[in-house]
Amino acid sequence: MKHVITAALICAAGPALANGEEVTIRGEVIDTWCYFSGVMGGPDAVQGTAHHTCAIWCSAGGIPVGLLGEDGTVYMILSINGDDQNASGQTQLELASHDITASGRLFARDGLNYLVIDEVVEDHGITNTNHTDFGVVPGFAIPNPEG
């Protein structure tokens, strides 16, 4: 798809350590359940502007958020800037669908990647404008303004 915005750049990668591998990654903050489960369609439809409202709902609802890198790797976010409220927390809620560059520590466990974000180096805003391809997902996310 043309609207690939989630450029992931591992700019610095130190050796794997017990306290994690130091990394800097660029990607989109996503709602992992919709992405992993396919409950609302394919992975390209459950990110970006098309899925922004649902991403807010899911983040507020306590579904884990992740960072989706350019190569499609998902990093489950464990904390952001020292905020350990990774279930319904305000810091992650405000970053829903945002394209960010983050530095932190990467862990791998039983097939999943986990990321402790020590610093959001740059918030690029919401850059994946895929509503032009998918509309809004789910279709009822935007209520009819005329009631």
Partner 1 sequence: MWKYLISLALLATPATAQEGPFSEGSEARSWNLAWEEPARFEATVVDMLCEVAGDCANECATGRQLGLLRAADGVLTYPNKNNQGIFTGAAVDLEPYCGMEVEVDGLMIEDEYVGATNVYLVQRIRAAGEEEWVTANRWTDAWEVQFPEAAAEEGRWYRNDPRVLAEIEGEGYLGTGESWQEAWEITR
Contact positions vs partner 1 (CB under 8 A): 18-20, 32-33, 35-43, 45, 49-50, 52-54, 56-58, 60-64, 72-74, 76, 78-79, 84-90, 93-94, 96-97, 105, 107, 109-114, 116, 126, 129, 131, 133-137, 139, 141-145
Question: By C-beta, is 26 or 116 nearer to partner 1?
Answer: 116
Furthest CA-CA distance within the chain: 56
CB of 136 to partner 1, least distance (A): 4
Question: By C-beta, is 13 or 39 nearer to partner 1?
Answer: 39
Based on the number of CB atoms within 10 Å of its own CB, is 30 exposed (0-12), middle (13-18) or buried (19 or more)?
A: buried
Question: By C-beta, is 81 or 85 nearer to partner 1?
Answer: 85
CB of 17 to partner 1, least distance (A): 11
Element (H, E) at 83: none
Half-sphere exposure of 36 (CA within 13 A, CB side): 13
CA 125 to chain centre: 12
CB of 139 to partner 1, least distance (A): 6
Question: By C-beta, is 12 or 42 nearer to partner 1?
Answer: 42
Within 89-141, residue ranges assigned H as helices are 90-94, 131-134
What is the rounded distance in angstroms from the CA atom of residue 12 to the CA atom of residue 9?
9
CB of 23 to partner 1, least distance (A): 13
